[in-house]
Amino acid sequence: MLHQLEGSRAIAKAVALCRPNLICAYPITPQTHIVEELGEIVRSGELQNCEYLNVESEMAAISATIGSQAAGVRSYTATSSQGLLHMVEAVYNASGLDLPIVMTIGNRAIGSPINIWNDHSDAMAVRDAGWIMLFAESNQEAVNLHIQAFRIAETVKCPVMVCVDGFILTHAFERVNIPDQKEVDEFLPTYKQHITMDPVTPLAIGAMVPPEYFMEVRYMAHLKQQKSISVIEQVRDKFSDKFGGNSSGLFHKYNAQDVETIVVTMGSVAGTIRDVVDDINCKHGNKFGVLTLISYRPFPQDAIREILKSAKKVFVVEKAFAVGIGGILAQEIKLSLLRTNVPVISIIAGLGGKPITKSMLFDCLLENHQRDTKFLGLNDGLVKKKCSFAGDCCTNN
Amino acid sequence: MDNNCPFATVLSATTSPRNKTGSWRTMCPRYINLMPPCNAVCPTGENVQRWLSFARSGNFRQAWNVIVQNNPFPAIMGRICYHTCEKVCNRSHFDEAVSINILERAVGDMAISHGWKFENVVPATGKKVLVVGSGPSGLAAAYFLRKFGHEVEIKEARALTGGMMRYGVPRFRLPGSIIDAEIRRITDLGVKISCNSRVSDLGSEINKFDAIYVCIGASKAIKPDMEVKSGSSVIDAVDLFKKLTNEQSHSVKFEKNVIVYGGGNTAIDAARMALRLGAEKVNIVYRKTLSSMPAHETEIHEALSEGIKILCLRTIRVIDHREVLIDKMNYDEESGILSKSGEEETLIADSVILAVGQFMDDSVVRNIEGIVVTDGGIIETDEYMMTGAKGIFAGGDATSTKRTATVAIAHGKKGAQYIDAYLNGKEVEQKSKPDVINFKKLNTSYYFSSPRLTLPPISSISMEERTIALTGDEIVTEASRCFSCGNCHHCNNCYVYCPENAIQKLLDGSLKVNHDYCKGCGICAVECPCGAIKMMPEK
Amino acid sequence: MSYSTRKKTSTDNANCVQSRTDRRNTLMSGHRACQGCGEALAARCVLDAAYNATNGNIVVVNATGCLEVFSCVYPENAWNIPWLHSLFANAPSVASGVASAMRVSGKTKIRVIAQGGDGATTDIGMGALSGMFDRNDDVLYVCYDNQAYMNTGVQRSSSTPPLARTATTLPIGSYMGNDAKTGKNLPKIAIAHNIPYVATASIAHLFDLEQKVATAIGIRGSRYIHVHVPCPLGWGIQPSDTIKIARLAVDCGLFPLFEAKDGVVRTSFTISNIVPVEEYLKPQRRFAHLFGKNAAPNVIAHMQKLADENIKEYQLMGENTHG
């Protein structure tokens, strides 16, 4: 059923349709509207058999979901930015214990300096934590991904993070199709836990693992991520069958066949990029395509290489970077294109909510780049004024 | 663990016991049995701690069985034993000694009222032993000899059995019915006792028996060195008790003032008896100080509580009808030198009872080849209690100056063992005794101060015995005060406190170390209240 | 107000769950705790008592620390009950989640216990614990207090007593060891949350400990039990003296045993023979410098003062025994 809804409210409704038994969160901008709405859904009785736990920190929020999920019930939490970093060790712990928790990240910059606006620094900080990480481009996709996330998590026995751009998606009102409860129930079977806290057959969960076995445990986590690539596709297919429409999966390809240049990106900026690419193609012939990654973890490396290897140039537009090196996604794309001659240009954009305009992108994509890494919209003058050793290294071109 | 579970981070229960932590151990706990001081000092070797442990669990029959392994007279000894065990009781360092004596009496009385019998004897050996004298030593010897399977006959010169238990202790302390009951159990074992049968010719008896145990006691009164004017009322305590035993108490009466001369238990008994036979004022006259009186402390205390006075540092020089002339004495306790002070006084007494000591009537052993009576008036024996005459053994008051019923019973028990060994041509097995455990080796954190059980105070001076009727619970409570020194009493501390669950509790309640897991921390040894666990170096 | 009192009796050990042959042994043989470990013993006693009181319906969440490390290392697990270890700082929150899960799945007869050492409880996990108390989540939290970070090699925690030597409070020169005034008093902090039940307990008094566990496990809402557990290695005592030292801590007044309900102390465990603090301190190497040549004056007096204050505050002498 179609609704005109704020992204956070839509996500909350999607989560509620998945019938979690425990919702636990600590407020942080821009995640707040999601958990406020869920609180209301639980308190109003709309969602039955669910506890809503107000806790004292994000660490407690993820920890409580670890506890409830280990004890056998479907559990959900949401956070952003500093909150995600506050829970980091538990983020690793949740995946280490194979707990299929679903967590929404309202993506936001990491301080200091404190900044409440959108970028992907928070999610990128936990990219090695062993979670499945899905990035939504739109509010509809956020809804779809959340419903799929529970099924993926529970199939693979791995926690799933659904990343939605703070404010840009979380606070944007859009027309969204919210499925019926009955359909979701048919799509998402009742959760049956694989490990138990059952006095009849007691298990110890969370053993220490000595050096002889630790590497094996981590390698198996790696295998699991690789296996989940196909699971994500299967779940996408089932979702499409059930609910129709273009239902995510590992990535979206936009005009990415037989073009010279492909722009790779993640999240809500993909729409802007598609518009820019359309403009370029309109003006200069069909030269540009777009690859929007939904599944950042698992990273579908082989499929990415297949798509990109025949391009003459690849741009990676991303909202985070590894200080001291550059684009994070760009590095991984470069790694995927190892032993090909495809050059990869990294464009760091929109940090801390800096606007990404079509014209900036238009110019940038058509520029003759001197450097591998470009910071889109960087105020060179300000940097040179404030940083004595800036020299010309911060020159944009 | 199925493959569905995460590898390594999720584990099944009960997988740790495969890790045998016993390999860490350098010291290993071992349950030991040490000698509790009560047992160590008991002349008969009564295993006090052990029978108390049965009593504390309410198994009084088993408690009695343990007592009679060493002493066939629990009811008698529960009344007249001077219980050195209580003096050395480790609990006295904590609060007060366990009332072993009262408990022994209670268990002994229970045996009489329930008609408990001794366990069956072993098959007959065909050997015959004569016991001369039916005092505690003779009866005990007969009991143990019978238990070895020998045929035993006791010859008793007097009219009644029991020796000094019968003739030397007043009935208000030891009723005749108790003596009868406990002797009957011995005759029930098949021991033959003939009274009024003085052995006149010991030399010929040895031809009829394979061995003889002579325990003729010390029944003759020593005459003190004093002048007694004729017509004065003077009687020996020995004669007094004999008269009372044979002719019943009503035949003897005392006038108002009585003096008892002597400082031993007999003097005390005589004084208390006089009080019961009409005397109003009884003074004990003793030559040394109160603290050097040989009489037992509790006896003295009871006499004093009955109003008897003890006049120390006095000797009687002359008894002239009602006037008793006294020399006052000086006594130096350290050197033991006793001398007249030069002062004198005169006391008034309607009667004087003499109780200055007894000696053996050696007529039975006189002129027997090989038997030597020492200058001290006792029969000489070797280390196996045999006299110089082959096959003739001796014990009891006749061979000892420590004249208590308890020592006499001990002689009877040992004599029986030596006689048995002699008859079988063997040596008596000398068992090595474990070390005595002292108070410092106990962990008393698990004990709580509680008053000991005492006899009710004397309410009236009566010829009847003071009765105590203990309930089973009272017996259990008092028996539970026993620290069980040096012996496990299954308190479970080791089981409870072992961080490794390495103490196993067996079906019979006993405890065992599981060496697979014991890391040798030693908590069990420190927390054992009894000092019954020792850490030994691991081999 | 005066407290009702409890005291040790001669039948304590005979009546405790630990003396029964059918006790669960929730912590099984084969664990890797040091010789004489007080925490291993306490954990078994606490959980056996809870197991007994609930007919086996307990699940346990464990914070990181010695207890976790010595009990569950692949491939060997010493826990004979369902057990979950997540992290150092989050055991209370994890337990809250488990409790919620039990409630929503209708398994309300299953009782949730969280446990950890003093580091996990009074330091790194205290925020989580306070949050759990604040929400009055249905969890019994048990702290095994061995008064320092033993797992990492005996460093100071906020539960380390004043003047104690640890690897990070070495008495050197005029520095006399840990200089905290009294250590963080978590039982009092717990009481201040007005949770239904708070108690302190000692492994030297197992019957009292078990009674407290049995009481606590029967109450809904947040409950807290703080158990004093000597660490032979960290305290510098003989492994055999673990119980003895625990007993002395109680007997000198430095570790008062009490019970509080709904924010008010109600019951204290009286001491039959109060001993001077020296008797407790002297056998421990961590306090040896207080008795050495260079000991600052009045250090013992300071410790005695703390004990005396406890004796007064918690009425440990047992005067006013009416309830």
Strands C58-62 and C111-117: parallel
Say whether A204 and B5 touch across the interface (CB within 8 A).
no
Q: Is B142 helix (H, G, I), strand (E, B) or coil?
A: helix
The residues, any chain, with a CB within 8 Å of residue B378's CB and separated by 6 or more, are B360, B398, B399, B400, B401
Q: Which residue has the higher pLDDT, B120 or B67?
A: B67
Residue B182 has pLDDT above 60, yes or no: yes
Question: C18 — contact with chain B (CB < 8 Å)?
Answer: yes
Which is nearest to A317 in space by CA: A356, A284, A285? A356
Looking at the domain assignment, is residue C318 inside a domain?
no
Q: Tally the residues of chain B.
A: 539
Q: Is A282 helix (H, G, I), strand (E, B) or coil?
A: helix
Say whether B7 and A217 touch across the interface (CB within 8 A).
yes
Nearest to A199 among C57, C72, C77 (CB): C57
> Scanning the structure block, which residue is given the tokens 């006049």?
B311
Say whether C272 and B448 touch across the interface (CB within 8 A).
yes
- Mean pLDDT along residues B76-100: 96
Sign of CA dihedral B437, B441, B446, B451: positive
Q: Mutate one of A47, A56, A192 to test the C interface: name it (highest C CB count within 10 A).
A: A56
- Mean pLDDT along residues B447-469: 85
Q: Tell me the two tokens of residue A381.
A: 């003058």
Task: Count Cβ atoms within 10 A of the Cβ of residue B457 and give its class: 0-12 exposed, 13-18 middle, 19 or more buried.
Answer: exposed
Which residues of chain A does CATH 3.40.50.920 include?
252-393
Measured between beta carbons, the chain C residues lying within 8 angstroms of B522 are: 35-36, 238-240
Say whether A203 and B4 touch across the interface (CB within 8 A).
no
Between CA C127 and CA C113 the distance in angstroms is 18
Name the residue in chain C with its Cα closest to that of A211. C74
Say whether A205 and B10 touch across the interface (CB within 8 A).
yes
**pLDDT bucket at B250, cuts 50 / 70 / 90:** low
Looking at the domain assignment, is residue C320 inside a domain?
no
Say what the pLDDT of residue A393 is: 62
Q: Which residue has the higher pLDDT, B426 or A232?
A: A232
Nearest to B6 among A98, A201, A202 (CB): A98
Domain range spanning residue C88?
4-313
Which is nearest to B241 in space by CA: B177, B299, B170? B170
Which is nearest to C118 in space by CA: C73, C138, C148? C148
- Is the preceding peptide bond at A138 cis, omega within 30 degrees of 0? no
Looking at the domain assignment, is residue C35 inside a domain?
yes
Say whether B16 and C21 touch across the interface (CB within 8 A).
no
Between CA B465 and CA B169 the distance in angstroms is 12
Strands A2-6 and A173-177: antiparallel
Between CA A393 and CA A397 the distance in angstroms is 9
DSSP A392: T
Q: Is A307 helix (H, G, I), strand (E, B) or coil?
A: helix
Residue B466 has pLDDT above 90, yes or no: no
Say what the pLDDT of residue C5 is: 85
CATH number of A2-243: 3.40.50.970
**pLDDT bucket at B34, cuts 50 / 70 / 90:** very high
Q: Could you list the pLDDT tens digit for every one of the 323 residues in chain C? A: 678 888 888 788 888 999 999 999 999 999 999 999 999 999 999 999 999 999 999 999 999 999 999 999 999 999 999 999 999 999 999 999 999 999 999 999 999 999 999 999 999 999 999 999 999 999 999 999 999 999 999 999 999 999 999 999 999 988 889 887 777 999 999 999 999 999 999 999 999 999 999 999 999 999 999 999 999 999 999 999 999 999 999 999 999 999 999 999 999 999 988 999 999 999 999 999 999 888 877 899 999 999 999 999 999 997 544 33
**How far does the CA of residue B2 sit from the closest CA of chain A (Å)?**
10
Q: Which residue has the higher pLDDT, A391 or B217?
A: B217
Say whether C104 and A67 touch across the interface (CB within 8 A).
no
The 10 Å Cβ neighbour count of residue B337 is 9
What are the CA-CA distances from residue B223 to residues A250, B142, B234, B242, B398 (Å)?
A: 124, 33, 11, 17, 18
**Is residue B228 within 8 Å of residue B236, measured between CB atoms?**
no
Say whether A210 and C73 touch across the interface (CB within 8 A).
yes
Say what the pLDDT of residue B467 is: 79
Strand partners for A103? A77, A161
Q: What is the mean pLDDT of chain A?
A: 95
Which is nearest to C267 in space by CA: C187, C203, C186, C182? C187
Q: Which amino acid is at C9?
A: T
Query: Model confidence over A328-357: pLDDT tens digits?
Result: 999 999 999 999 999 999 999 999 999 999
Say what the pLDDT of residue B249 is: 58
Sign of CA dihedral B153, B159, B160, B165: negative
Helix H or strand E encompassing A95: helix A88-96
Between CA A121 and CA A328 the distance in angstroms is 10
Tell me the CATH number at C175. 3.40.50.970
**pLDDT bucket at A392, cuts 50 / 70 / 90:** low
What's the angle, vertex CA C203, arms to CA C199 and CA C206, rounded to 5? 80
Q: Which CATH entry fits the domain spanning A252-393: 1.10.1740.10, 3.40.50.150, 3.90.1720.10, 3.40.50.920?
A: 3.40.50.920
Say what the pLDDT of residue B284 is: 95
- Mean pLDDT along residues A52-81: 97
Between CA A26 and CA B408 the distance in angstroms is 89
Residue A397 has pLDDT above 70, yes or no: no
Helix H or strand E encompassing C145: strand C139-145
Query: Model confidence over B339-352: pLDDT tens digits?
Result: 999 999 999 999 99
Between CA A372 and CA A310 the distance in angstroms is 19
Query: Model confidence over B518-529: pLDDT tens digits?
Result: 999 999 999 999
The 10 Å Cβ neighbour count of residue A374 is 22
CB pairs below 8 Å between A and C: how many? 160
The model's pTM: 0.91
Q: Tell me the two tokens of residue B282.
A: 């009884």
Q: Tell me the two tokens of residue C78.
A: 């010493």
Cα A286 off chain centre by: 30
Name the residue in chain B with its Cα closest to that of C203. B497
Say what the pLDDT of residue B1 is: 45
φ and ψ of A56, to 5 deg: -95, 0
Say what the pLDDT of residue C320 is: 46
What spatial distance separates the first Cα and last Cα of chain B, rounded to whole Å? Answer: 38
Tell me what percent of the residues of chain B surpass a pLDDT of 70: 99
**Is residue A88 within 8 Å of residue C131, measured between CB atoms?**
no
Query: Model confidence over B273-288: pLDDT tens digits?
Result: 999 988 999 999 999 9
Residue B2 has pLDDT above 60, yes or no: no
Measured between beta carbons, the chain A residues lying within 8 angstroms of C131 are: 55-57, 60
DSSP B256-290: SEEEEE-SSHHHHHHHHHHHHTT-SEEEEE-SS-G
Say whether C29 and B21 touch across the interface (CB within 8 A).
yes
What is the radius of gyration, based on Cα positions, of chain B?
Answer: 28
Partner A, chain C 234-253, Cβ-Cβ below 8 Å:
none
Say whether A213 and B8 touch across the interface (CB within 8 A).
yes
Residue B3 has pLDDT above 70, yes or no: no
Question: C206 — contact with chain B (CB < 8 Å)?
Answer: yes
Tell me what percent of the residues of chain A surpass a pLDDT of 90: 92
Overall number of domains in chain C? 1
Q: What is the mean pLDDT of chain B?
A: 92
Chains in contact with B, where contact means 3 or more Cβ–Cβ distances below 8 Å, are A, C
What is the radius of gyration, based on Cα positions, of chain C?
Answer: 19
Question: C79 — contact with chain A (CB < 8 Å)?
Answer: yes
| Maximal CA-CA distance, chain C | 64
Partner B, chain C 52-81, Cβ-Cβ below 8 Å:
71-72, 74-81
Q: Is B383 helix (H, G, I), strand (E, B) or coil?
A: coil
The residues, any chain, with a CB within 8 Å of residue A236's CB and separated by 6 or more, are A148, A247, A248, A249, A250
